[in-house]
Amino acid sequence: MDIVIELWTALPVVMQIMIKIVAIMMPLMLLVAYYTYAERKIIGYMQVRMGPNRVGFFGMRLWGLGQPIADAVKLMFKEIIIPSGANKLLFLIAPMLSIGPALAAWAVFPFDAGLVLADIHAGLLYILAMTSLGVYGVIIAGWASNSKYAFLGAIRSAAQIVSYEIAMGFALVGVLVAAGSLNLGDIVAAQQGSVFHWFWLPLFPLFLIYFISGVAETNRAPFDVAEGESEIVAGFHVEYSGMTFAVFFLAEYANMILISALSALMFLGGWLSPLPQSWVDGVFLLDDGFQWLLIKTFFFMFLFLWFRATFPRYRYDQIMRLGWKVFIPITIVWIVVVAAMKVAEMPWWFN
């Protein structure tokens, strides 16, 4: 172990950072790929279907576990067709603008106490900035495609993302008030104790609004009017094919994982154990650790799939009404309530 530490410290700082980035990105990309498989399998079981069950490895079906790999290989070899009237440069930049912020946000995400790529003080502000940039990829993709269908989908999607971004931002202001810090590690530390010390309880309306707004912001069912197949084919990326389409697809699922992980971090204590510290101190797998963050994140990821299998699609006017007339007023009122609780040093959370 000492040799490994010596070798690590001997590496240039740039090389250390590159290795850390690869260590975060590789599992994340694998998780994105198999999240698509999990979606098809879980929704299949909910709707009494089989889901993917043919493509395996080395001649064995293995419940269809090879399906995401087959999909990726197929998309790699498909032709990228650029419409004749499209703005070629912007057409190719748009997918990168969608997936870039979704991946860059992980730079400040703490996976455990001290286990973070860049432990900056304004981590929450950085996350807000990165998640807000994704809308530019959507707008540029719709406009650069030179297609009425793509442009209509882009306008719908951009209006929806911006509307729910405001509600999400206000929900995170509540977290900031409660924790008294913009650092994500400090926000988790402020929830120390047990499951009843986590912020889901004093910030319950903000917790619900944050996650539902996250579902809307990622254009997932029941808020997927931007991709309403029966209305506008596929939305803003209707003219995309091959790997350019795949990048939009990856960006959507990477954003879903990010929203799930942030929900777990901000409201459910991140890597903290739900059991009282005196019970689990030093007990393997029950003590605080990355495994708890993983379990909580998977729970929220499952909710995304459950919603898609369960709820019918909202009308566009209903989506806008929910965002502007319901969520934003509730978040503003609850921020005042949280501030009052903080000033009054209300137990268990703020004393």
What pLDDT sits at residue 268? 94
What pLDDT sits at residue 58? 83
State the pLDDT confidence band at 139, using cuts at 50, 70 and 90.
very high
What pLDDT sits at residue 229? 58
| pLDDT tops 90 at residue 294 | yes
pLDDT digits (tens, 9 = 90+) for 183-192: 999 999 999 8
| pLDDT tops 70 at residue 230 | no
Bridge partner list, 219: none
- Mean pLDDT, residues 135-159 taken together: 90
What pLDDT sits at residue 149? 85
- Mean pLDDT, residues 34-44 taken together: 95
Q: Give percent above pLDDT 70 in the chain.
A: 98
| pLDDT tops 80 at residue 282 | no
- Mean pLDDT, residues 68-73 taken together: 93
* SS3 letters across the chain: CHHHHHHHHHCCHHHHHHHHHHHHHHHHHHHHHHHHHHHHHHHHHHCCCCCCCCCCECCECHHHCCHHHHHHHHHHCCCCCCCCCCCHHHHHHHHHHHHHHHHHHHHHCCCECCECCCCCCCHHHHHHHHHHHHHHHHHHHHHHCCCHHHHHHHHHHHHHHHHHHHHHHHHHHHHHHHHCCCCHHHHHHCCCCCHHHCCCCCCHHHHHHHHHHHHHHCCCCCCCHHHCHHHHCCHHHCCCCHHHHHHHHHHHHHHHHHHHHHHHHHHCCCCCCCCCHHHHCCCCCCCCCHHHHHHHHHHHHHHHHHHHHHCCCCCHHHHHHHHHHHHHHHHHHHHHHHHHHHHCCCCCCCC
| pLDDT tops 80 at residue 323 | yes
Residue with tokens 């944050």: 210
pTM of this structure: 0.94
- Mean pLDDT, residues 282-292 taken together: 84
| pLDDT tops 80 at residue 271 | yes
| pLDDT tops 80 at residue 29 | yes
- Mean pLDDT, residues 306-331 taken together: 92
State the pLDDT confidence band at 277, using cuts at 50, 70 and 90.
confident
State the pLDDT confidence band at 232, using cuts at 50, 70 and 90.
low
State the pLDDT confidence band at 156, using cuts at 50, 70 and 90.
confident
At what angle are helices 242-267 and 123-144 packed, to 10 degrees?
150
Mean pLDDT of the chain, nearest integer: 90
**Which amino acid, residue 262?**
L
Pair 137, 102: CB distance under 8 Å: no
Pair 219, 226: CB distance under 8 Å: yes
